[in-house]
Amino acid sequence: MGKLRDDMEKDLAVRNLAKKTRSHYVGCACNFVRHFNKSPAEMGLDEVKDFLVSLEKKGSGPERRKMHAAALKFLYGVTLGRPEVAAAIPLPKVPHTEPDILSGSEVTLVLSKVQGLKCRMVLATAYAAGLRLSEACHLEVRDIDSKRGVIHVRRGKGGRDRFVMLGARLLVALRDYWKVVRPGGSYLFPGRDPLKPLSSTTPRKALDNAVKAAGLKKKVTPHLLRHSFATHLLETGTDIRVIQALLGHKSLSTTAHYAQVDSARLSQVKSPLDLLGTAQGEALG
C-alpha cells in the first residue's frame, strides 16, 4: 500500500487506537489490496462487498469478516476521506454466545496446573483483579499499592486508567513471587529482556497446557478468567455497577454480558405464579 499504508497508520495512531487494533486494521487493508491487486483509491463499495463475500466463501468466521469490514470503514472514512463509502459498508452480524464460566474450584485447579511461577502469577493476577491479559503483563512494580489495597491499571482499553482491588491473598502471593523472581526493571512480570514486559503469548500457552493437565473440557482462555471474575463477583452479591468500574467498561450492557448468572442460581428464583396467594405474594397486589 506504500504511502497509503503510512497514512492509515498515522490516522490510527492519532486516534490513539490500541497497537493491536492498529496492526489488525492495517493487515486487513493489505488483504483487501492483495485480493484485487489495486489501490483502494481506485476501488469503492462494490469491491468491498465482493471482498467480504470472498472471505465468507473461504470459510472466514463472522468475527474475522467484521474486523475486515471495520478496517475498511476506517480506511475509506478517515484515510481516504470517502465517508459515503464507509457508511455503506455493512458489518457482518456476529452470533452472541455465552462462554462457559469456570467454577471457583475449576479456577483453583487450573491455576495449580500452570507451569512456571511467573506465568502462574500473571494468570492469578488477571483473575483476582479482572484484568485483561495484556493489562496484567504490563503491570509495573509501582502499580501495586499495598497501603491502599489497590492496583493501578494504566492505559487499559481505550487508553483509560482505572483502579482495581488488591486482594489480601494476591498481595501475599505477589510478595512471595517478588522474593523469588526479584524483577530488575520497572515491570512486575518482565520478559526475557528485563526492560520489557512479558509477552502475553507465554502465559496463554501455559494456560492451554494447564487446562489439558486439569482435564477440563471447557474452552478456557485468559479472557474467560475475566468473565469468571465478573460472574463470581455478581454471584457473591457485588453490585453490577461496581463490577463495571472494575472491568473498565463504558457501557453497563457490556458488563452484563461478562457477568452471567449460573443455572443453579436461576433455578432458586421463585416464579411469580408460585407466589400468588401466598403471604410473600401480597406485595404483588
35-49, 186-200, 249-263, 266-280 — which is least confidently predicted?
266-280
CATH class of the region 3-88: mainly alpha
Note the pLDDT tens digit of each residue in 212-244: 999 999 999 999 999 999 888 888 888 888 888
- Among all residues, which ones are annotated catalytic? 132, 157, 223, 226, 249, 258
Q: How far is CA 40 from CA 4, 32, 87, in A?
A: 9, 8, 16
Decide if pLDDT at 109 tops 90: yes
| Number of Cβ within a 10 Å radius of residue 221 | 15
The CATH number given to 104-262 is: 1.10.443.10
Residue 255: Cβ-neighbour burial (10 angstroms; 0-12, 13-18, 19+): buried
Note the pLDDT tens digit of each residue in 131-159: 999 999 999 999 999 999 999 999 777 67
Residue indicated by cell numbers 493489562: 135
Residue type, 264: A
Q: Which of 115, 150, 105 is nearest to 131 (CA)?
A: 150
Where in the chain is CATH 1.10.443.10? 104-262
